[in-house]
Amino acid sequence: MPKKFVLPTALEPYKGFGDPRTHIKKFQSMMFFNGASEPILCRAFPTYLDGAALLWFSKLSAGSISPFEELARSFIDYFAASRIYVHGSDYLSTIRQGQQESLKNYMTRFADATMEILYLNPKVYLHALKSGLRPSKFQEMIAVTKPKTLDKFREKAVGQIEVEELREARKTDKHPPKREEEKAFRSSGNKESKNLSSSHPNLIPTPDSTSKGKI
Question: Per-domain residue ranges for the chain?
Answer: 20-84, 90-174
Stretches where the chain sits below pLDDT 70 are 83-88, 116, 118, 174-215
Residue 215 confidence (pLDDT): 38
The CATH topology of domain 90-174 is 1.10.1200
Residue 5 confidence (pLDDT): 78
Residue 130 confidence (pLDDT): 95
State pTM to two decimals.
0.46
The letter for the amino acid at 154 is R
Residue 213 confidence (pLDDT): 46
pLDDT single digits (tens) 66-117: 889 999 999 999 988 776 555 667 888 889 999 999 999 999 999 888 876 7
Residue 203 confidence (pLDDT): 46
